[in-house]
Amino acid sequence: MTKPRLWITRRLSDATLERAARDYDVVINHDDTPGTADQLIAASAEFDAILPCHSEHFSAEVAARLDPRLKIIANHSVGVDHCDLPALKARGITVTNTPDVLSDATAELAMLLMLGAARGAVAGDRIVRSGAWDSWSPAFMVGKQLGGARLGIIGMGRVGRAFAAKARGFEMEIHYFNRSELSPDQAHGAIYHSTVESLLGVADFLSLHCPATPETTDLMNTARFGLLPQGAVVVNTARGALIDEDALMAALDSGQVAAAGLDCFKTEPGGNPAFVGYDTIFMLPHIGSATTKTRDAMGFRALDNLDAFFAGEAPRDAL
C-alpha cells in the first residue's frame, strides 16, 4: 500500500523523525527554517499531510490557497494560535495538536521563571559572572519568598494544573481564574475567582496559562497590572500576545510589579529589545516544552494523530 506523503516543516527529535520515516513517505525540512506562506501553499499540492510547529502560520489567506490534496495538519504544539481554525475547517482540513504531553515541562519552566524572577537571577548572575561581587550585606539582593505567598493562575487547564501542583510543593496558597470552576478533585483546594479582576487583587505571584485568542490579547494591560498587590511577580509561559509589553515595563518602572519571568514575547523570535534594560525581567527564548522527553512525546503524539487519521479513525486531538 502506498504510504501517505508527509511534510515535516522543522527538525524534530530523532525518534520522531525515525518513526515518521518508517510509516510515511516523508520529506523533512533539514534546514530547519520556518515554513513561509508560499512554501506551505506549494507543499499542500504535494503532500497529504503537514506536520508543522507553531512557527508555521496557516492564516485565513494561506488556508484559502491550500490545494485540496492536503487533508490534515498535525501540529507539533499544544497552542494553535498560528492556525486559523475556522478557515481550515471550511477547507475540510483536519487540524490536531499535542495536549497533555508538554504540561509538566512547561510547568517546570514556569517554576524556574517564577523563582528566578523572585530572587533576582539576572542581576545575581551578572554580578558574579562579571567579577563585580566584592561585598555582602544582609540587605544585598533581598528577594521575594514563594512559601506562604498567594499564587494567582489564569487558565487552569492541563499546564495551569501541573504548575499548581508544583507550587503546592513550595507551600503557596493557590488561587485561580478559569472559564469554569474546577471540580474539587481537580482543584485540590485552589480558590476559584469568577473574574480576572478578583484574582489579580490577591496575586502576589501571577502566572498565565491560557491560550492566545482575540479575547485574551493584552489580557494584562495597564489597568489590570494596577490591580496586582504592590511588588507582584508576573510569569508568562503561554503566549506573548497575553501581555501589553509597554504596560509591563511601566508597571516595573513604578514598582507595582517587582519582577517578571517571560518565556513568550509579542515578537518571536527576537523578543522585545526594550526588555534588555530590565534586570528585573528573567527571560528565556520560548523553551517551555524543550526537553528531550517532551520533544519525543510531542512528536509521537502528532504521529499518533496522523496514524489514526490515515487509518480512517478520528484523531484523538482533532480540534
Q: Which residues bind ligand DGY (CB under 6 A)?
A: 53-54, 77-79, 102, 288-289
Minimum CB distance to ligand DGY, residue 263 (Å): 9
Residue pair 175/203 in contact by the 8 Å Cβ criterion: yes
Return the SS3 of 17: helix
Minimal CA–CA distance to 110: which of 294, 287, 306? 287
Nearer to ligand DGY, 10 or 175 (CB): 10
Nearer to ligand DGY, 256 or 289 (CB): 289
Nearer to ligand DGY, 54 or 193 (CB): 54
Q: Which of 76, 224, 239, 295 is catalytic?
A: 239
Q: Is 171 left (phi over 0), alpha (psi -120 to 50) or beta?
A: left
Minimum CB distance to ligand DGY, residue 238 (Å): 8
Return the SS3 of 180: coil
82 is known as an active-site residue = no
Q: Please give the Cα distance from 308 to 319 (Å, whole number).
A: 14
Minimum CB distance to ligand DGY, residue 105 (Å): 10
Residue pair 81/55 in contact by the 8 Å Cβ criterion: no
286 is known as an active-site residue = yes
Minimum CB distance to ligand DGY, residue 55 (Å): 8
Minimum CB distance to ligand DGY, residue 290 (Å): 8
Minimum CB distance to ligand DGY, residue 233 (Å): 21
> How do strand 257-262 and strand 281-283 relate by DSSP bridges?
parallel
Nearer to ligand DGY, 53 or 202 (CB): 53
19 is known as an active-site residue = no
Helical ranges in 261-312 per DSSP H: 292-310
- In the complex, residue closest to ligand DGY by CB: 79
Return the SS3 of 28: strand
Determine how many CB atoms are found less than 10 A away from the CB of residue 50: 26
Nearer to ligand DGY, 48 or 317 (CB): 317
Q: Which of 76, 286, 295, 301 is catalytic?
A: 286
Long-range own/partner contacts, residues 281-286 (CB < 8 A, 24 or more apart): 281/117, 281/122, 281/252, 282/113, 282/116, 282/117, 282/121, 282/122, 283/122, 284/109, 284/112, 284/113
Nearer to ligand DGY, 116 or 240 (CB): 240
Q: Which of 46, 61, 268, 313 is catalytic?
A: 268
Which three cell numbers mark 263?
518565556
Catalytic residues, by residue number, are 239, 268, 286
